[in-house]
Structure 1
Amino acid sequence: MDIQNDINIAESIAPIQDNKYSRVRQKDQKRLREVLNNFYGKPSSLHSVVLLTSGMHAIYHLFTNIILSNLDKTDKIRFIVADELYCDTVKMLKYFADLFPKFSYERVSITDKGAIIKLSEQYGAEIKLLYTESCTNPSGHMPDFSFLQRMRHLYDYPIVIDNTWLSSALFNPFNFGVDGVVVSLTKYYSGGRCLAGAILGKKDLVAPISLNASMAGINLSPLYCKVILDSLSSLSERIGDISTKSLIIAQWLEGHPKINRVLYPLLPSHPTYAVNVKQLPKGGPGCLYFHINLHTEDILAQMAKMTTIVKATSYGARSTRIKMGEEKRGFANQYDTSEENHIDGSWMRVAIGTADTVEEIKTDLDLFLGS
């Protein structure tokens, strides 16, 4: 182990003389909280930010705080959650349902307004949270946020949005009266350079979470804060570039003879396009989802042919990345969802990188598709 090299790297990121030891009042932590609040257009007098060690860590503290704060107040604690969520979020919900007998959650299509109204009326005061992603990972469905805002006023339960898939550069849930936002700072905010997460929101929601994290000795490294702050200066530019390239690639894939279906929020063929296009005037996310007539062994063999695109998870980094989703049936026709048009194959997710050009990505995808 080259200890001196590690010291040199640390000093180059954040000079030691400028960072006196402090776990909770370090200047780059404070500055990052301020910048994130500003990105979402909220004054620190009304909104708080708590920094955590990953996006999942942020979600864990959000769920834990709401459940624990209601254990002695009610016989039932229910969440309404979207039926499409990041896989580890679903695992966490199942974990809490096993851990706390009073807790349960209702999964619902976040675009099904009637189902959300029905659950809200059925369970009333038992509902302690409505939770969804602003744009679902990976198929890109968006709820109608004006509708969610009305539900917030009618039924008085908090709404918290995972905005990782879009970031504040493309969409601001606070414009629709939500109580909180969780984000993985690992993705677009840091450019894939470090692990971090955050919860932003009304002080009555965030302050108890911040206290719990502090009492547990949980603090985001000042070095990571510095990395994220440096990356934030180019966030809008990076997201704009990724968004533009993603739509071009999605349109190209939609016309490709080897592709059965493409799901990208700003394609007219997308199921929630009418809502998406109104809510995303600045562009869509940097990931797209497509269905092909290949299965696992063939996919792995085709991936080995690519020279630019990396076989990897995550998104928001310099490299374009591809991963296999699920081996399941997809729609053969972009617009016909009838059962007889379902075909076997696999779903793939591509995360567009900042360093790769449209032509480089197309060339590699052609290699992958065997064109």
Structure 2
Amino acid sequence: MEFSTRIIHEDNIKDGSGAVMSPIILSTTFERGQDGISYPGGFFYSRYDNPNRHSLEQKLAKMENGAGCVSFASGLAAATVVFQSLKTGDHIVLPDDTYFSIRTILDTMFSGFGLSYTLVDMTDLDALRKAIQPNTKLVWTETPSNPLIKVTDLAAVAAIAKEHNCFTVTDNTWATPYYTKPIEFGIDIVLHSTTKYLGGHSDILGGALIFGENNQRYEFIKACQKLGGAVPSPYDCWLLCRSLTTFVARMPIHSNNAMQLAAYLEAHPKIDRVLYPGLTSHPQHEVAARQMTNGFGGMLSILVKGDRATALQLADKLQLFTHATSLGGVESLIEHRKSIEGDLSPTPDNLLRISAGIEDVKDLINDFEQALLSI
């Protein structure tokens, strides 16, 4: 079956009632068999596994063409477990504009664990090679990046990492498996904040790791999920599976709206620069065109002509775009990232990050037109 058909029809829960939609199994515990040892239903305690979580993980693994999936209560919980799989003295290579909370996790939660990291421009492959040290174990990628919209050549990065016996993680939250499947380019682990496009309605918190193969690291992280307990609730898993049924319908609209909005803003005299991989002006447009299928995603960033105050004023004047954090919902959002990330952030003061929703694009452009007239 094709991608969209499989999401809707495969790995659903059948409970014998004839229900068309999968039920929510809220029970935290499950009955043993007559022998007092086995669990005929395959489940015994909801922290270890649950029918709704099992269904979700099966779906997500197939969407990324992976061998297995481990889901978590948030995207950062998923990222944290990856770092827990490292050992004292290990070194990590991170993108220089990685999602700022990744650096915060390493600087705070892991400050006493002997991990170190180097920031590098992942679009510069020579810089990546120079950043790898004898104790480097992990190369972390994020494409497109948040919020500077850099596009990483995943196949090239994966090849360099393998030369140095490093494993790779790609945060695929923005591209999603609709546009990019990193495992197909040699990436070992794919990370998702399922809060974003996979959830798609700004009402679910979750995260997931999808593995190219079920190896020792997969087993360790699966054990961390069970023992650490940072698992998504059955209801959140059910809600996310519900959202996945419209995933293929939503994603083209996000991408088409972002493309048209980017083209409009690039031509506007009050906008200094538009960062969107679908524009030929984007520095990695050729990489994006080779690596992203079905479109270039729903995320773009703009650099407003002016300073921080001008950017904040523009965000405030918009009426359809809500000035709020997060992304990937059906509604359009805009955010001044520097004020969220703080003084250590490399994000420019005049940058606004835009999550294009699935409203009519004419209304989105008209909203920007009226807002730009007032600044």
Q: Same fold (TM over 0.5)?
A: yes
Rounded Cα–Cα distance in structure 2 between residues aligned with 1:314 and 1:281: 24
Equivalence for 1:179: 188
Partner Cα distance (2:313, 2:273) in 1: 21
CA contact (8 A) 1:294 1:345 kept: no
Deviates more, 1:49-58 or 1:18-27: 18-27
CA distance, structure 2, for counterparts of residue 326 and residue 318 of structure 1 = 24
SS in 1 for 2:116: strand
1:48 aligns with one of 56, 68, 79: 68
The answer to whether residue 36 in structure 2 is matched with residue 30 in structure 1 is no
C-alpha separation between the residues in 1 aligned to 2:288 and 2:174? 13
When the two chains are superposed, the root-mean-square deviation of aligned CA atoms in Å is: 2.0
1:291 aligned onto 2:291: no
Q: Work out which of the residue numbers 108, 111, 116 in structure 2 matches 1:98.
A: 111
Shift of 1:96: 4.9
Tell me how far apart the structure 2 counterparts of residues 141 and 117 of structure 1 sit (CA, whole Å).
18
Q: In structure 2, how many angstroms separate the alpha carbons of the residues matched to 1:359 and 1:139?
A: 25
Query: Alpha-carbon deviation of 1:218?
Result: 2.9
* Structure 2 residue corresponding to 1:359, chosen from 354, 357, 362: 362
> CA shift at 1:274, angstroms?
1.8
Match of 1:144 among 135, 138, 153: 153
Distance 1:103 1:15, change over 3 A: closer
User: Taking structure 1 as reference, are residues 134 and 297 closer, same or farther at Cα in structure 2, changes over 3 Å only?
Assistant: closer
Partner Cα distance (1:299, 1:113) in 2? 33
Once the two structures are TM-superposed, the CA of residue 153 in structure 1 deviates from its matched residue by 3.0
Whether the 8 Å contact between 1:139 and 1:264 is mirrored in structure 2 is: no
The amino acid that maps onto 1:25 is: D
Are 2:318 and 1:315 aligned? no
Q: 2:101 is matched with which residue: 88, 110, 118?
A: 88
In structure 2, stretches of 5+ residues that fail to align are 1-20, 30-45, 340-347
Distance 2:310 2:119 in 1: 34
- 1:213, distance to aligned residue in structure 2 (A): 2.2
Q: Distance in 1 between matches of 2:349 and 2:70?
A: 42
Report the residue type matching 2:124 in the other structure. D
Q: How far does the alpha carbon of each residue in 1:177-220 deviate from its partner, in whole angstroms, 9 at most, with x for none?
A: 21111100000011122100011113222221121221123321
Alignment-mate amino acid for residue 290 of structure 1: I
> CA offset at residue 316 of structure 1?
1.1
Give the total of aligned pairs.
326
Query: Quick one: distance in 1 between partners of 2:49 and 2:272?
Result: 53
Shift of 1:284: 1.1
User: Are the counterparts in 2 of residues 199 and 206 from structure 1 also a CA contact under 8 Å?
Assistant: no
Which residue in the other structure is 2:237 paired with? Answer: 225
* CA spacing shift, 1:104–1:321, aligned 2, 3 Å: same
- State the alpha-carbon separation in 2 of the partners of residues 107 and 299 from structure 1: 27
Range with greater deviation from structure 2 (31-40 or 272-281)? 272-281
Work out whether residues 14 and 223 of structure 1, in 8 Å CA contact, stay in contact via their aligned partners in 2: no
Q: Name the CA shift for 1:367/1:62 in 2 (closer, same or farther; >3 Å).
A: same
The residue matched to 2:118 in structure 1 has which SS? strand
2:171 aligned with 1:162: yes
What corresponds to 2:143 in structure 1?
A: 134
The reply to whether residue 347 of structure 1 matches residue 371 of structure 2 is no
Compute the displacement of 1:97 (Å).
5.4
Cα distance, 1:292 vs structure 2: 1.2
Distance of aligned partners of 1:235 and 1:65 in 2 relative to their CA distance in 1, 3 Å threshold: same
Residue of structure 1 in register with 2:12 after alignment: none
- Consecutive unaligned residues of structure 1, counting only runs of 5 or more, are 1-12, 328-343
- Return the TM-score normalized by structure 1: 0.83
